[in-house]
Structure 1
Amino acid sequence: MKTLYRIGQIVPSSNTTMETEIPAMLRAREALHPERFTFHSSRMRMHKVTPEELANMNREGLRCAAELADARVDVMSTACLVAIMAQGLGYHRQVEEDFRRIVSENGADARVMTSAGALIHGLKKLKAKKISLMAPYMKPLTAKVVAYIESEGIEVVDSICFEIPDNLEVGRRDPMQLLDDMKKLNTANVDVVVLSACVQMQSIPALQTAQDRLGIPVTSTSACTTRNMLDLLGLEAATPGYGQVLVV
């Protein structure tokens, strides 16, 4: 088995989190396992988290996929959950199909995924039937995220949205503030709490503390993205400290 893997991400131009949180988790894994990772990204223009900007950004995704295919990455993922979920139920499957086509046309063989699909993947790894979540989006976009998750067979018992339209501002939010925010979330009788349903809203410093306090699995889209990448690469997750999805 190879020991060096190239990780590719298709990142909104204003995203400052996915190129820090994904490497942080995989660097932590390097302390426990022999595999090593390098990180590569291609960017799509987006400033405000609005339906119009998200749709415009999505149109740049195929160009980004081709650029990452040129780098012969081993796995590539989108790094914007709401951009996918706002386009219609199950849309992550269409995006993945389009990426596979682009990868093949460019003579590469990268595994492909989306952060939207990764959240669903991670929740199913955790056997979640009922969840509660927090997100930075405006209410209409949060409602689309909730409907998307529920269309995949997972009930959303409660959700809190912080209504921050500026994507840079989302990335500047203190992740430890999520521990106080969580106190307002209905977590009774849920299987999993999604501390951050947005890949731009930082979460990983708070994940393990939140899980220890609640006594149930706590995860985020970035942690689920990391798990999905490892699964596609056929690698063991086993990286404690980032919630249950990187342990099971």
Structure 2
Amino acid sequence: MSLSDITCETAPEPKAARTSRVGLIVPSSNTTMETELPELFRRQSEATGQRYTFHSARAGLKQVNREELLAMVGKAGDCARAVSDADVDVIAYACLVAVMAQGPGAHTGSEEVIASAARENGHPAEVTSSAGALVRTLQEMGARKIAMVAPYMLPLTQMVREYIEGAGIEVLDAISLEVDDNLAVGALDPHKLPEIARDLKREGADAIILSACVQMPSLPAVQVVEDEMGLPVITAATATTYEILKALGHTPSITGAGGLLAGAYTTAAAGRG
């Protein structure tokens, strides 16, 4: 067989009925977002029959420090163009601190860059970011005071705190696990999070952010902590999932991951899927 006999695909295959394509832009060392989100959407599929596929673009990041985070931001447009080649329905920029390192409210600009790149590439898509999803979800839930757990070194945790407070939400307490290697963050044991969360000063809190990082595993602990503490519990991953579902017009119907994804705070009707 010669090369002339080979037919190459020049465009993505048409989507099957009741199937949504989700594009992710993730740090190159991320090992969690592409495991927790598919599991969450598997549960959504079980409840609704809607199918979801995932398509990722990766931007270089090894150490979670300000310099590498800002360098990653400059790659967002290229990543958006690459992942939009798959004709995805929605793109999620899944690096919370890379956006927050740019200063309060930076998610708006980052999401516009990604949307513009996908549109100019001929495959427009809805866009969210983990940073934007976290603050918008808290606002939608009516949370004015929160406590949070983050894996970062203290200066980055403080930066996240200031970003959230810049959105009008008071951070009563923040526990910093002080891990700077991104692979090490992904290896943290989520089953230790309930014990860690018990140390949070949460009197007066409206919600808990159990993982203010898409790389820190947390899914097995979300429902446990919510049930134990009697407060809404979200993570960067669950907030991003919530906004992806909203962008697709799908009602959250996910069990075992907190009230947010079970539909407790849904304000918009769904079903365009």
Deviation at 1:48, TM superposition (A): 0.3
Q: Which consecutive residues of structure 1, in runs of 5 or more, have no partner in the other structure? A: none
Task: Normalising by structure 2, report the TM-score.
Answer: 0.89
**Structure 2 match to 1:116:** 131
Alignment of 1:27-106 (within 5 A): 27-106=42-121
Deviation at 1:68, TM superposition (A): 1.1
| Contact preservation (8 Å) 1:81, 1:114 | yes
Worse overlay, 62-71 or 117-126: 117-126
Alignment of 1:1-248 (within 5 A): 3-246=18-261, 247-248=263-264
AA of the residue aligned to 1:241: G
What do the CA deviations read for 1:129-162 (whole angstroms, capped 9, x no partner)?
1100000111111111111101111111100001
Q: Which consecutive residues of structure 2, in runs of 5 or more, have no partner in the other structure? A: 1-16, 265-273
Whole-Å separation in 2 of the counterparts to 1:226 and 1:124: 16
Query: Greater Rg, structure 1 or structure 2?
Result: 2
Local SS of the residue matching 1:117: helix
AA of the residue aligned to 1:216: L
Whole-Å separation in 1 of the counterparts to 2:48 and 2:136: 23
Whole-Å separation in 2 of the counterparts to 1:47 and 1:84: 16
| Contact preservation (8 Å) 1:125, 1:245 | no
| Contact preservation (8 Å) 2:207, 2:231 | yes
Identity %: 45
AA of the residue aligned to 1:78: Y
Whole-Å separation in 2 of the counterparts to 1:149 and 1:15: 23
Q: Aligned-residue CA RMSD in angstroms?
A: 1.1
Q: Which runs of 4+ in 1 moved over 6 A?
A: none
**Structure 1 match to 2:12:** none
Deviation at 1:121, TM superposition (A): 2.0
AA of the residue aligned to 2:182: N
Whole-Å separation in 2 of the counterparts to 1:22 and 1:203: 11
Local SS of the residue matching 1:84: helix
Whole-Å separation in 1 of the counterparts to 2:123 and 2:53: 17
Deviation at 1:189, TM superposition (A): 1.2
| Contact preservation (8 Å) 2:96, 2:214 | yes
Local SS of the residue matching 1:99: helix
The number of residue pairs the alignment matches comes to 248
